Amino acid sequence: MIPSLDGPVLAALAGTTQPLSLTRVRAVAGRGSLAGVRRVLLRLVDAGLAEAVPGGYVLNREHVAAPAVVALAGLHGELSARLRGAVAQWDGDCQLLGLFGSAARRDGDETSDIDVLLVSPSGDARDFAEALAADVERWTGNHGHIVVVTPAQLEGMRRVDEPILESWRRDLIVVLGSRSALDGAAS
């Protein structure tokens, strides 16, 4: 929601009550140079939204904007909760539901798709995926891209060592089900 480096820095601070060093803020934020993160932190301290304390920086949770910052930092969890809720309302069988791509890496922006993997043997999974994609777009403003794969298709992908499998194994954030579905193990 905050496209500049301020967003990831604020999210890093909102994720803990412990002081974070400059290098730790940079690592948790996952982007920006040390100099850029330092500039953001100093600006946030000047605005009163962050405090420089022994050991690093903390979010000033007494600032009137702090609850909004914490809420924005929790959007990823809210999206996951809504996805789980949608699957709970569906009559189909979900073996695995997860976020991949920029949604999993948390490096997307307002133009990025929200990529979701759904592994299901259910015959109506594609219809459900269309409805879920529309829900994702309403919830986030971003296009929902739902990839539906049956367990049999996944097995075929494993046999030919489909490159997307490695990406899913590396980056997938499991929302529901078991990651073992990617490897063919019992879920």
170 and 82 within one domain: yes
85 and 62 within one domain: no
Q: For 93-112, what is each residue's pLDDT tens digit?
A: 999 999 999 888 877 778 89
90 and 34 within one domain: no
Quick check: is 66 in a domain?
yes
Q: Give every CB contact of residue 147 below 8 A, 6+ residues apart in sequence.
A: 115, 116, 117, 118
Confidence of residue 142 (pLDDT cuts 50, 70, 90): very high
Quick check: is 109 in a domain?
yes
140 and 82 within one domain: yes
In the chain, pLDDT over 90 holds for what percent of residues? 71
How far apart (Å, rounded) are the C-alpha atoms in residues 162 and 92? 26
Quick check: is 63 in a domain?
yes
Confidence of residue 152 (pLDDT cuts 50, 70, 90): very high
91 and 68 within one domain: no
Residue-number span of the structural domain to which 22 is assigned = 6-72
Instruction: Return the sign of the alpha-carbon dihedral for residues 27, 31, 32, 38.
Output: negative
Quick check: is 81 in a domain?
yes
138 and 163 within one domain: yes
Looking at residue 181, its pLDDT comes to 86
Amino acid at 122: S
Looking at residue 136, its pLDDT comes to 97
How far apart (Å, rounded) are the C-alpha atoms in residues 157 and 184? 11
57 and 14 within one domain: yes
Residue 134: is its pLDDT beyond 90?
yes
In DSSP notation, 109-174 reads -TTS-EEEEEE---TTHHHHHHHHHHHHHHHHSSPEEEEEE-HHHHHHHHHTT-HHHHHHHHH-EE
Confidence of residue 187 (pLDDT cuts 50, 70, 90): very low
Looking at residue 18, its pLDDT comes to 96
178 and 116 within one domain: yes
**Number of structural domains in the chain:** 2
Residue with tokens 């604020």: 10
85 and 41 within one domain: no
Looking at residue 108, its pLDDT comes to 78
Quick check: is 21 in a domain?
yes
158 and 90 within one domain: yes
Q: What is the CATH number for 136?
A: 3.30.460.10
Confidence of residue 1 (pLDDT cuts 50, 70, 90): low
Report the mean per-residue pLDDT for the chain.
Answer: 91
Quick check: is 187 in a domain?
no
Confidence of residue 3 (pLDDT cuts 50, 70, 90): low
Quick check: is 25 in a domain?
yes
133 and 67 within one domain: no
98 and 40 within one domain: no
